[in-house]
Amino acid sequence: MKFVEDLVAQGKLGADDATDFWEFTCGILMKDAARFARYEDERFRFYLNIGLCSHWLRPHQTRWKADGGFAWPQGYGPNSRQRDNTPEFDWDEYLEWNAGAEAWEGISRNSVAIKQRYVLRAALPARTARHDQAAVRAEWVFGLPQVREPKPTTFYGFRKIEGQWVLRAWSEDEALESVGL
């Protein structure tokens, strides 16, 4: 996948970051976001904001119990004692949906529209080459990013089984509400 190859070439993914995990996970995120981008109002622009997060809040103390359990994908923020904080990125990249080509294309941060936009912001964990499982947190941001309102959130749980990354758990807002978010 060219997006991941570019991240490696730029030195953003290192030896501790499994490129096969990034390729598989980014592919899942792109497909998931494209489902919405294909059918929404053409006045809006769709973006994927994918970033690496190396500092998760107490990753082994709080569990997402799907498929045997994953570290709860939460990050540091203004309310760091709550389970709804967005993980902060070490670095991030933007992709924009090209409706004509039905594909995601890398863009610079300066090219991101300020209004009439949807952004799927996804935090992928660092050091995935050391582990056989990973949880990803993705949330939709509508319009201006500084607006503080509840954001539709999805968790993705991945496991490495027989040398291949597999999506083992997927949870949208309704399921997260049942566990206290």
Cα–Cα distance, 54 to 42 (Å, whole number): 35
Of all residues in the chain, what percent carry a pLDDT higher than 70?
A: 80
Q: Which residue has the higher pLDDT, 152 or 108?
A: 108
**What is the mean predicted confidence (pLDDT) over 39-57?**
85
The pLDDT score that the predictor gives to residue 77 is 57
Greatest mean pLDDT among 10-14, 31-35, 139-143, 145-149: 10-14
Q: What number of other Cβ atoms are within 10 A of residue 1's Cβ? A: 13
Q: Which of 154, 156, 155, 153 is nearest to 168 (CA)?
A: 156
Handedness of CA 179, 73, 27, 21 (dihedral sign): negative
pLDDT in tens, 118-177: 899 999 999 999 999 999 999 988 764 444 555 688 999 999 999 999 999 998 644 444
How many residues are listed for the chain in this entry? 181
Instruction: Write the CB contacts of 74 (distance below 8 Å, at least 6 apart in sequence).
Output: 56, 57, 62, 82, 83, 84, 85, 87, 137
Q: Are 93 and 78 in contact (CB under 8 A)?
A: no
Say which residue, 59 or 97, is predicted with more confidence. 97
| 11 class by beta-carbon count within 10 Å (0-12 exposed, 13-18 middle, 19+ buried) | exposed
Query: If you search the block for the tokens 């990354």, which residue do you land on?
Result: 165
